[in-house]
């Protein structure tokens, strides 16, 4: 089994707010991340896929295709967007790094020819990242 | 949905690798420059990975404010700018980064209640890093 990782970057804004909580609870739980107009990050994404090496091509996955799928499914949807309002997954789910990683996994799952998703890693900042391995 | 969240921190400290049960020649042979009598320091990088179900109400595995507050109070304030050999955590224990990783892992396992800490990773320098997950294997 070979593991292959491709990186991508996007910049987006978000706000942590649960309308079921009172304003005080939102402020207590989410702190500054609850500021009403949102704030942004330069996100960095690492997608790791795994599979056997194809004898003819020498590839696990065609990197060009992986790049195109990443661009179409993730970057074009997330980049320079306010996640809460512009990405449908976050109409109800809070766009935490955890939920961003899960949403990206779900967008990529089943769309890669010849390889299986192993891990989605999303960096919100260089000092904070989340790994998602699918249903465990 | 189970997710794994990693947060990085930094602190600086000094240490000396020296085992009083060994003679000077044996210490020098085992630890080399790290056994120099007055110690030396590093900028340590600490990464803590917590894992668990994502709470549907908050979208979080662990509230970062809880993790940051714990690390600030129990790690950075305790170990930062200290000589590790002088701390009670290293009484009778050589403060190698292996042992530092075990000390910190035990601290989280026993006292951090907001989430399950899966592993701790420590960079001693940009060329050396250590990871400890207790009895578990570390997932690639």
What residues in A contact B60, CB-CB < 8 Å? 96, 98
**Residue from the list A99, A129, A133 with its beta carbon closest to the beta carbon of B54:** A99
Whether the CB-CB separation of B6 and B49 falls below 8 Å is answered with yes
The predicted pLDDT at position B67 comes to 98
Mean pLDDT for A84-91 is: 97
A63: nearest Cα among A79, A42, A49? A49
Predicted confidence (pLDDT) per residue in A12-52, tens digit: 999 999 999 999 999 999 999 999 999 999 999 999 999 99
* Residues sharing a CB contact under 8 Å with residue B11, sequence separation 6 or more, in sequence order: B43, B44, B46, B75, B76, B79, B80, B81
Mean pLDDT for A102-123 is: 95
Q: Are the Cβ atoms of B4 and A132 closer than 8 angstroms?
A: yes
Q: Report how far Cα A81 is from the mean position of its chain's Cα atoms.
A: 13
Mean pLDDT for A50-58 is: 92
Q: Report how far Cα A2 is from the mean position of its chain's Cα atoms.
A: 22
Interface of B to A at Cβ within 8 Å reads 1-9, 49, 54, 56-61, 63-65, 139-140
Where do the domains of chain A lie, and which CATH numbers do they carry? Answer: 2-132 (3.30.479.10)
Question: What value does the CA radius of gyration of chain A take, rounded to a whole number of Å?
Answer: 17
Q: Are the Cβ atoms of B8 and A95 closer than 8 angstroms?
A: no
The predicted pLDDT at position B78 comes to 98
**Residue from the list A18, A95, A132 with its beta carbon closest to the beta carbon of B57:** A18
Per annotation, catalytic residue among B4, B77, B81, B86: B81
Mean pLDDT of chain A: 96
Q: Which of A21, A90, A96, A109 to mutate to test the interface with B (most CBs of B within 10 A)?
A: A96
- Which residue, chain included where needed, has tokens 């896929």? A49
Q: Are the Cβ atoms of B1 and A96 closer than 8 angstroms?
A: no
The predicted pLDDT at position A114 comes to 81
Contacts 24+ apart (CB under 8 A), A106-112: A107/A73, A107/A74, A107/A77, A108/A47, A108/A69, A108/A70, A108/A73, A108/A74, A109/A134, A111/A69, A111/A73, A112/A49, A112/A61, A112/A65, A112/A66, A112/A69
Whether the pLDDT of residue A76 is over 90: the answer is yes
Q: Quote the longest CA-to-CA distance of chain A.
A: 61
E strand or H helix that includes residue B83: none
ipTM of the complex: 0.92
Sort B140 into a burial class: Cβ within 10 Å, 0-12 / 13-18 / 19+.
Answer: exposed
Q: Give dist(CA B107, CA B64) in Å, integer.
A: 18
Q: Could you list the pLDDT tens digit for every one of the 140 residues in chain B? A: 999 999 999 999 999 999 999 999 999 999 999 999 999 999 999 999 999 999 999 999 999 999 999 999 999 999 999 999 999 999 999 999 999 999 999 999 999 999 999 999 999 999 999 999 999 998 87
The predicted pLDDT at position B121 comes to 98
A83: pLDDT confidence band, cut at 50, 70 and 90? very high
Q: Are the Cβ atoms of A3 and B140 closer than 8 angstroms?
A: yes
The predicted pLDDT at position A82 comes to 98
Nearest CA in chain B to A93: B59
Predicted confidence (pLDDT) per residue in A26-36, tens digit: 999 999 999 99
Predicted confidence (pLDDT) per residue in A91-105, tens digit: 999 999 999 999 999
Is B124 among the residues known to form the active site? Answer: yes
Q: At B50, which CATH number?
A: 3.30.479.10
Q: How many structural domains is chain B composed of?
A: 1
Chain B: nearest CA to A136, how far in angstroms?
A: 7
The predicted pLDDT at position B140 comes to 72
Chain A: nearest CA to B3, how far in angstroms?
A: 5
Whether the CB-CB separation of A72 and A8 falls below 8 Å is answered with no
Nearest CA in chain B to A48: B140
């Amino acid at each position: 089994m070979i593991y292959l990782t491709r990186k991508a970057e996007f910049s987006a804004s978000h706000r942590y707010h649960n309308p079921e909580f009172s304003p005080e609870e939102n402020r207590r739980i989410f702190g500054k991340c609850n500021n009403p107009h949102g704030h942004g990050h330069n996100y960095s994404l690492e997608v790791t896929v795994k599979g056997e090496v194809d004898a003819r091509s020498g590839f696990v996955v065609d990197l060009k295709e992986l790049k195109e799928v990443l661009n179409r499914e993730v970057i074009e949807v997330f980049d320079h967007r306010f996640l809460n309002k512009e990405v449908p997954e976050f109409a109800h789910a809070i766009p935490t790094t955890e939920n961003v990683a899960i949403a990206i996994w779900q967008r990529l799952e089943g769309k890669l020819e010849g390889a299986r998703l192993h891990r989605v890693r999303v960096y919100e900042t260089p000092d904070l990242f989340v790994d998602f391995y699918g249903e465990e | 949905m189970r997710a794994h969240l990693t947060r990085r921190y930094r602190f600086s400290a000094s240490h000396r690798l020296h085992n009083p049960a060994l003679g000077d020649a044996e210490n020098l042979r085992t630890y080399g420059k790290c056994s120099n009598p007055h110690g030396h320091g590093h900028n340590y990088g600490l990464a803590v990975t917590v894992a668990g179900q994502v709470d549907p109400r908050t979208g979080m595995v662990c509230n970062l404010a809880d993790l940051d507050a714990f690390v600030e109070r129990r790690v950075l304030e305790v170990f930062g700018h200290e000589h590790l050999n002088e701390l009670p955590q290293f009484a009778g224990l050589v403060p190698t980064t292996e042992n530092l990783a075990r000390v910190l892992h035990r601290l989280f396992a026993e006292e951090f209640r907001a989430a399950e800490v899966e592993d701790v990773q420590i960079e001693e320098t940009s060329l050396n890093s250590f990871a400890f997950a207790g009895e578990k294997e570390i997932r690639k």
